[in-house]
Structure 1
């Protein structure tokens, strides 16, 4: 992400892997999952992470156990790993370079080298790595006596906000030089001006965006939209600019309002009239989106079509406005695709049909950010449980009626959040047969799986049932 060191990335990925496991993870498995670095580098980062945790946390709060024979285990009392992640990212030299240049816009090279204790050649190399990542945003940094950042002003502001939001998350994690009460007060006043009913958390996000925007205003950085962008944004009617935003232009205010509106992930309930802008701009992507969605999922009712169309249009606007790169999303993993595929294969199969159909028409949306945000929108419109796979089971047990009922209830409840299980009275209808003894093989079809269970239904029994269900689902999808 933006050229952060490989050491920082490894530490973040180590925490992600370990946080998804409750037991020890063999070191060789950790190395295998971090396939972009050799085992010496991974072990070095692991040892550094161990020392950082031991230095900054009490064992009962957060600890990393490294056992020569069993592997590595992470313990977190409250599940809060973000403070640790914020600590080692904010100590990364690249992050310090980025934040310094974004805040100051023009930084003496010699002074930055002295502050960060790096040579001029090292700084040049770091800037070259940063520019590779910034190219996604049409932004770059130049090196001479001063380091400057160039590119579309709205993208520079978004990059600044993205770093604040993804790394710091809240004002309290920012340096003491930031006037936190000022931005908290400004966030409250903006909410009042826009009649937003915002939670404390939402106001915190808004305060970070205001911080990024106000920094630019104070540095006399003006927004420089293209003629087409200016025409597009002018079609969106927004409330008047409040007087307390001294020094802000109408374009600065418009930028903020549209950012709040398109950032549906923040949960702001801001409503704008899109009638004119939707008529002005091309609406074909939204039409193709709706058609692709109906093809893969279900017909959209006439009553909800306008609501969904606006939701889709806002989503596509967000894709253009917050054009986040793949490296950033992979770094912070807001949606774990591998887990989604494993837990909800039916739903993800339908989503893939929808998405491939849509991007075949509009390949410019074929990005990790767009796919992730549209998956979240799809889940918002059609809940995951709507497409839980239906699996029929047959209980082949020589037990009392109440004991058999107990087994069926245990199995159904255990898999309630993933599958729609139906116990049938006819073994021929079932895909999975469970029972306290093995049925005659002559009674089974080749596509049926029989699992022998104990009367107490152990965790191992449930695990074997799960594997049989997953095999049946694979057969259904294929």
Structure 2
């Protein structure tokens, strides 16, 4: 991402994967998640992560256990892991290039190579790799006698913010940014808009303010009018024009950090580029899932409007999804049924409405739709019957265990008649059915989850 080395990207992904696990995992499972690494390379990266964490945190705060008997487990007790990312990224020359471009916008290539002990050919190779990653952002790093950033100023600023947010999250953690003054300004803005934001969001706004106001101090100006939105600018100072303040507020609102909302007129919500698409999608959802409330519908249109705001700056707003968690697949990765329902709805949507142009990114719509789903709609109703010689009291206890453990997979209902059941469970080795022990093991749960997935794929969920 952003042209950093593959090693850094892989370590970032490995760490986040481990942080999402509730218990132990294996090198093989980590490698399988990443898809492109061998077990040996994965283990090498795991050991390097362990060593780095040990140098930054106490064992009580954050540590990585790598054992032959139990496997791999990341232990984190309310510790902020951003220090680990900062150390990992800031070691790279790519980070230094971004920092110099942010602070100066251009610098002498030969002097930079001497300062960082690299050859000019290495610098060109690094910048070529960065440019490949920057294509969706529609900016370009030029390297000749000098190194400079080329592109629309609004896009350049948003790129810098995205890069340094991805690495640091907080302006106070960036030693080369004068964070104190921007944090104070951030608090003043929130007070003006009656926004009681937590410290983390104040830090984010301060980082965004630094990117913009420092760029203004270098004589860089936003030269195009991007937004038609009506906006009451309650806070300004002479460091930026009113048009630039509008850009500052609308971008941070479009990224869903703050409620510095413009006047949400009918035209803004119902007549933007994606309004018709949103109306058609909600109509399909209401036809096949349920009727949404007025508040839910309004929130959906606001999210679509925010998407259109960011697209006014960069043509492919989905490039921000992973950094800012605007479309987070991890949010619904445990809900296979929801993913299946969404895919069927999406197929029908594309087929019936013919949307190719003027269509919001699919993963973003999936995240928004997930928020509309009620808890009971996220998993299927599944009827199970037993073949067992266990007493009824033992079976009742076993049913409660299964219902609890599989609550994110299916709503399990138990029936007496096997002919009325979707799945047959068995506690007896000599009878047909999905084998479940009286005290279920992880292997039993895994076997049953697979059976449910297989059953789901056979269901005729063909909407018409």
User: What TM bracket, shorter-length normalisation?
Assistant: 0.7 to 0.9
* Number of the residue aligned with 1:11: 11
Please give the alpha-carbon distance, in whole angstroms, between the structure 1 residues aligned to 2:431 and 2:37.
52
Supply the distance in 2 between the matched residues of 1:464 and 1:272 (Cα, whole angstroms): 53
Give the match for residue 221 of structure 2. Answer: 222
Cross-structure match for 2:55: 55
- Equivalence for 1:470: 453
Q: Residue 359 of structure 1 contacts residue 366 of structure 1 at CA under 8 Å; is this kept in 2?
A: no
CA positional deviation for 1:279: 6.8
Alignment partner for residue 233 of structure 2, among 227, 233, 240?
Answer: 240
1:156/1:331 CA distance change after superposition, 3 Å: closer
* Greater displacement, 178-187 / 328-337: 328-337
1:347 corresponds, among 319, 324, 338, to 338
Partners of 1:240 and 1:13 lie apart in 2 by 40
| 1:140–1:151 contact (8 Å) kept in structure 2 | yes
Name the structure 1 match of 2:241.
249
Instruction: Judge conservation of contact 2:169–2:204 (CA < 8 Å) in 1.
Output: yes
Aligned residue runs from structure 1 range 451-470, under 5 A: 451-454=435-438, 456-470=439-453
CA distance in 2, matches of 1:345, 1:439: 31
CA drift of 1:365 comes to 6.9
Quickly say closer, same or farther: Cα 1:371–1:117, change in 2 above 3 A.
Answer: farther
Please give the per-residue CA displacement for 1:49-101, whole angstroms capped at 9, x wherever unaligned: 3432333333444444555x669624323264432122201222112211220
In the TM superposition, what is the alpha-carbon distance from 1:151 to its structure 2 partner? Answer: 0.9
Q: Hey, what's the Cα distance between the residues in 2 that align with 1:385 and 1:114?
A: 62
Deviation at 1:364, TM superposition (A): 5.5
Q: Distance in 2 between matches of 1:358 and 1:219?
A: 48
Specify the SS of the correspondent of 2:15: helix
State TM-score, norm by structure 1: 0.82
Q: Is the 8 A contact 2:382 2:413 kept in 1?
A: yes
Alignment of structure 1 residues 20-59 onto 2, 5 Å: 20-21=20-21, 22-23=23-24, 25-26=26-27, 30-31=30-31, 33-36=33-36, 45-59=45-59
Cα deviation per residue 1:95-144 (whole Å; 9 max; x = unaligned)?
22112202321222233223322222211111111111222121011123
What SS does the aligned partner of 1:84 have?
helix
SS at match of 1:198: coil
Give the Å deviation of 1:181. Answer: 1.9
Give the aligned partner of residue 154 of structure 1.
154
**Counterpart in the other structure of 2:419:** 428
45-54 or 421-430, which deviates more = 45-54
Change (3 A) 1:355 1:216: farther
Matching of residue 260 in structure 1 with residue 259 in structure 2: no
SS in 2 for 1:223: coil
Matches within 5 A, 1:6-405: 6-21=6-21, 22-23=23-24, 25-26=26-27, 30-31=30-31, 33-36=33-36, 45-66=45-66, 73-78=72-77, 80-175=80-175, 177-225=176-224, 230=225, 233=227, 235-240=228-233, 242-243=235-236, 245-264=237-256, 266=257, 268=259, 270=261, 272-277=263-268, 281-282=272-273, 283-294=275-286, 297-300=289-292, 305-321=297-313, 337=329, 340-341=332-333, 343-356=334-347, 361-363=354-356, 370-383=361-374, 385-405=376-396
8 Å contact from structure 1 (residues 141, 150) kept in 2: yes
Go from structure 1 to structure 2 and tell me whether the alpha carbon gap of 1:324 and 1:23 turns closer, same or farther (over 3 Å shift): farther
Query: Which segments of 5 or more consecutive residues in structure 1 lack a partner in the other structure?
Result: 442-448
Task: Give 1:281 shift.
Answer: 4.4
Structure 1 residues 458 and 308, CA gap change in structure 2 (3 angstroms): closer
Q: Is the 8 A contact 1:105 1:149 kept in 2?
A: yes
For residues 423 and 135 of structure 1, the distance between their equivalents in structure 2, rounded to whole angstroms, comes to 54
Aligned to 1:446: none
What CA deviation, in whole Å up to 9, does each residue of 1:19-49 have, x standing for no partner? 45533524x6655554545677656544533
RMSD over aligned Cα, in angstroms?
A: 3.4
Q: CA-to-partner distance for each residue in 1:345-382, whole Å, 9 max, x for gaps?
A: 22111222344455674446778xx3333222112222
Q: What TM-score comes out, normalization by structure 2 length?
A: 0.84
- CA spacing shift, 1:92–1:293, aligned 2, 3 Å: farther
Secondary structure at the aligned position of 1:285 is classed as helix
User: Deviation per CA, 1:227-246, whole angstroms, max 9, x where unpaired?
Assistant: xxx3x62x311113534x22
Question: Match of 1:76, SS?
Answer: strand
